[in-house]
Amino acid sequence: MLILSRRVGESLVIDGRIRVKVVRTEGDVVKIGIEAPADVPVHREEVYDEIQRNNRDALTNARPATLPKLPRPAKSAKP
């Protein structure tokens, strides 16, 4: 892993198009600002990992004959 030191207010430029700025520090919390193009998704790692894992578990290669039965909705969804 590349490790660089930055002061508050200083930034990194990645690939000429992504800017990562140290905005401020509060104890062991570091506030980071990220400017990235719209096609570069930015996620907190633990949230990304959890959703990615869930997606992997959810992908089926055999559709079940029966699906879970949901309770009737409280409001009438179908006329």
CB of 47 to another protein, least distance (A): 6
How does DSSP classify residue 17? T
| 76 makes contact with another protein (CB under 8 A) | no
| 7 makes contact with another protein (CB under 8 A) | no
| 33 makes contact with another protein (CB under 8 A) | no
| 60 makes contact with another protein (CB under 8 A) | yes
Q: How far apart are CA 57 and CA 54, in angstroms?
A: 5
Give Cα separations from 76 to 58, 68, 72 (angstroms).
29, 19, 8
Give Cα separations from 55 to 21, 50, 79 (angstroms).
31, 9, 33
| 56 makes contact with another protein (CB under 8 A) | yes
Residues at the interface with another protein (CB under 8 A): 38-39, 41, 43-44, 47-48, 50-64, 67-75, 77
